[in-house]
Amino acid sequence: MNKTELIGEIAENAGITKAKAKLVLDTLLKRITESLKNHESVQLMGFGTFKIKPRKARNARNPKTGEPMKIPACDVPTLSFGKFLKNELKGSQSVEKKTRSVAPVGKKQKTAAK
């Protein structure tokens, strides 16, 4: 889903025009961005929490040249997903994925004799 599709869904579900739905979504995103710029967390109950986390300066290598370089410290936006969203996603997994069996590491799996 892209932003245009999301605006269409908001407009349809709320019974408003797409222009008003776009304004609502843009306002929401702008306000989240402003809060993060001010190092304020934004918590949307059930969905998740947006936060800013500091990242330390570190050394790295330029992948093209292999030349060492210093990456400065910076602030990074993060999103921690809420319980409701996690549970909704768990419920959408297929039964096959949930009951998949894996042989323990270091032990051979027995095969049926023919």
Domain map (residue ranges) of the chain: 1-39, 41-91
Contacts of 109 (CB under 8 A, 6+ apart): 103
Architecture of domain 41-91: Irregular (4.10)
Q: What is the pTM of this model?
A: 0.67
- In sequence order, the β-bridge partners of residue 79 are 50
Q: Which of 54, 31, 55 is nearest to 43 (CA)?
A: 31
pLDDT score for 110:
52
pLDDT band at 91 (very low <50, low <70, confident <90, very high): confident
pLDDT at 73 over 50: yes
pLDDT score for 38:
95
Cβ atoms within 10 A of the Cβ of 21, count? 19
CA angle 20, 26, 32 (to 5 degrees): 140
